[in-house]
Structure 1
Amino acid sequence: MSTVPIKAGTDVIEPVTAASLVRREVVSLPAYDPGADTDEVAALSGVARVVKLSNNESPFGASPAVAEAVRLRVDDSLSRYPDPTGKRLAEAIGKSLAVPAGRIVLGNGSENILELLCQAVLDPGDLVTTQAPGFSLHEIFPRMMGARVEKVPVTAEFGFDAIAWRDALAAGPKLVFLANPCNPTGAMLGAGELGRVVAGTPKSALLVLDEAYCEFARPNPDYPDGLEVLRGQDRPWIVLRTFSKAYGLAGVRVGYGIASDAALVQALDRVRTPYNVNQLAQDAAIAALGDHAHLAETVRRTGLEIARVTKLLRGAGLRVVPSSANFLFIETDHRSDWVAEALHRAGIVVKAWREPGYENFIRASLSTPEDNDLFVLCLTEICAKGAR
């Protein structure tokens, strides 16, 4: 690129680079970590099939009804824009939850709605409260808008720290992100703990309850349904859920939010792209929502593997956080990057956790029993060798 100044009349305009135009908030953002590329891991390991445990996807796939719904619509969906309002899907979700469709917002995954909330609500300097360790986009999107982020740590046993949350909420955040169950730990808040956060959140703040993994936690009688907790609250709130995890639709990207009122949905509509959820995704989600048996079987099989693998890993001397989701947060006593790279050489992909204070943890979403057994074998061997 030329660096010769350009003359405009008597003024000299100094050349600029594209990088110099980028807002400073964006320059300082950490990159989102999607996990290692499976093709690269396959080339490194030489295995015929990579075991991918990095993105909390369902190994049991989507409902068979989804494939049929997509097959019936694929010919006329590829060349036409989707319904920009997602009316049929919003009505189906609203009917299943006894909520008016006007209070349902759709997103290209629930993380898209996290971004829309930050774009619609946050001004530079606003305070956002979330948890640590936590989902990175709960920090990245607010910082993108110039907001300040305070992260409330868990206790030493990965439990809810009521005093820390009380103090953080008293500081007057404008936006509160709370995941239940938590990503990456899988730990859940009980009704009393969730109630304390709701009661302590200023009514001037928007409370965002991220329930991306709620389906896996529901069999636990102590797990509170966030929608039912918030339904009668006279305050702004939104509950986020997704079809990516338990419903097995990660590839088509569709999530949704249930808002306290239609005005919040209308505000999000003003900042979202008009066609943010494609038509095949809308049709797939409607079909998945109607197959209760498939969802129940996915949750049942996942719960069995969570319990079994937790027991195996603890028996091998590893610390595993009790999980109410479809993944495990595992302390290895070694740097997470080193453990993840060693697993890559065995053809297994996990998420190395790099958040300060948790650099010795990995997060592994569970797969089929055969895949999980291979993971346990390789992880325990790697950790044992690293301890020598």
Structure 2
Amino acid sequence: MVKIPDHINELKSYKPGKPIPEIKAELGLEKVSVLWNNENNFGPSPKAMEMMRAAIENSHVYPDPTSKELRTAIATNEGIDVEQVVVGSGSEAILSNVFQAFFNEGDELLTSEGTFVAIYIWAKSHNVPVVKLPLTSDYRFDVEAIKASITNKTKAIYISNPNNPTGSIITKSEFESLMKAVPKEVIVIMDEAYYEFAAENQDYPSSVSYGYPNVITLRTFSKVYGIAAIRIGYAMGEPRLIEALSKVRLTFEPSNLGQAAGIGALSDLDFLKKVLDNNRTELKACGELFDRLGITYIKSFANFVTLDLGSPERVNIYSDELMKMGVFVRPLIAFGLPHCLRITIGTADEMNHFRAAFEEVHSSVFV
């Protein structure tokens, strides 16, 4: 019998929930607001769609293995050299490549509890031990604890900023303090999947702008640009680190459609403004509702808001009752926060649907 390594046997296969059409049929729902995956419910960037339609004509030809045009567009957008950019089939693919490119036996990853679950999965799949520190009482990365926990086994530090699933950030001063304490041989992975939503905040650090030689910045086109299904993300950093990541990625990754979509999305400033304006407005409206109802929530710098409902039982009641009313939200048990509930910011119509349903559930069950 073929022996499968223990660390792979210990991984749990991804088991998706019921398809939305099946849930709608079971519950007799006509209208639904899907607010559980942090997707962009405005749909794809129109300019990304336009570029993909043109690119599909050449689908018989292998894509550019260097993604030169897309990397150049990203580099120009960020004011860096093209050699500082690598692209992949989603930032999660690049995250996996980080383990292949940089970790040796005995190296450890240092991060936090209550962050993006993929980091734990990819570390486990590469047999890398993870040191997980608690979040602070206000659901933020504990920078001081991270600094104090660096050892000679620490190969990399992972920080999701803004953090998924809490929406919190580490500030400029915290990031600068962290980098002063991190040895130059330790990589700091800054996962900025929700960068565009946070960037307008003056206290938010765009990690790539500092030019630190041991920082890898991850970003994605899945969120603000609405092309999650196309799987396109990128990393930025010192050319030497980017070259190492390039060596371990798949040769023709990402696809021609992914490259075209990214180029189009970056030029779609009108769509970007529309999404960000809506997010700002709807986050504010949600905060006002939660304040009025006495609901504890975490200040968010992303396209979602997370509630602290106090217990898993309350989370399940809110989630189940909202689903019966056609509003799908995310309990956070898989993130190690079973007392929390995450709501994606959708369109104005969807958020009106959510707020009306939430208030009805709250008043009928808990008041």
What band does the TM-score fall into relative to the shorter chain? Answer: over 0.9
For 2:318 and 2:23, how far apart are their aligned partners in 1? 14
Equivalent in 287, 306, 316 of residue 310 of structure 1: 287
TM-score, structure 1 as length reference? 0.87
Conserved? CA contact 1:35–1:350, under 8 Å: no
User: What is the one-letter code of the residue matched to 2:238?
Assistant: S
Equivalent in 41, 46, 63 of residue 45 of structure 2: 63
For 2:152 and 2:284, how far apart are their aligned partners in 1? 39
* Structure 1 residues 187 and 266: CA distance shift in structure 2, 3 A: same
Equivalent in 81, 91, 103 of residue 72 of structure 2: 91
Determine the structure 2 residue equivalent to 1:54. Answer: 36
* Structure 1 residues 287 and 165: CA distance shift in structure 2, 3 A: same
Per-residue Cα deviation, 1:210-246 (whole angstroms, up to 9, x for no partner): 11101001121111211112x1x2x422111111111
For 1:224 and 1:93, how far apart are their aligned partners in 2? 18
For 2:146 and 2:266, how far apart are their aligned partners in 1? 35
Determine the structure 1 residue equivalent to 2:266. Answer: 289
Matched, 1:136 2:114: no
Determine the structure 2 residue equivalent to 1:301. Answer: 278
Matched, 1:328 2:327: no
For 2:108 and 2:177, how far apart are their aligned partners in 1? 20
Equivalent in 320, 338, 345 of residue 324 of structure 2: 345
Determine the structure 2 residue equivalent to 1:265. Answer: 242
- Report sequence identity in percent: 30
SS in structure 2 at match of 1:360:
strand
User: What is the one-letter code of the residue matched to 1:190?
Assistant: T
Determine the structure 1 residue equivalent to 2:229. Answer: 251
For 1:87 and 1:41, how far apart are their aligned partners in 2? 43
Matched, 1:274 2:251: yes
Measured after TM superposition, the shift of residue 377 of structure 1 is 3.0
Conserved? CA contact 1:122–1:142, under 8 Å: no
SS in structure 1 at match of 2:149:
helix
Q: Which has the larger radius of gyration?
A: 1
For 2:16 and 2:214, how far apart are their aligned partners in 1? 31
Equivalent in 370, 374, 377 of residue 353 of structure 2: 374
Tell me how large the CA RMSD over aligned residues is. 2.1
Structure 1 runs (4+) greater than 6 angstroms displaced? none
User: What is the one-letter code of the residue matched to 1:321?
Assistant: I
Segments of structure 2 that go 5 or more residues without pairing to the other structure are none
* Structure 1 residues 44 and 146: CA distance shift in structure 2, 3 A: same
* Structure 1 residues 122 and 170: CA distance shift in structure 2, 3 A: closer
Measured after TM superposition, the shift of residue 300 of structure 1 is 1.5
Conserved? CA contact 1:123–1:145, under 8 Å: no
Segments of structure 1 that go 5 or more residues without pairing to the other structure are 1-15
User: What is the one-letter code of the residue matched to 1:93?
Assistant: I
Equivalent in 156, 159, 183 of residue 175 of structure 1: 156
User: How many positions carry a matched residue from both structures?
Assistant: 365
* Structure 1 residues 358 and 270: CA distance shift in structure 2, 3 A: same
User: What is the one-letter code of the residue matched to 1:347?
Assistant: G
Determine the structure 2 residue equivalent to 1:5. Answer: none
For 1:146 and 1:194, how far apart are their aligned partners in 2? 28
Question: Which deviates more, 330-339 or 39-48?
Answer: 330-339
Conserved? CA contact 2:36–2:330, under 8 Å: yes
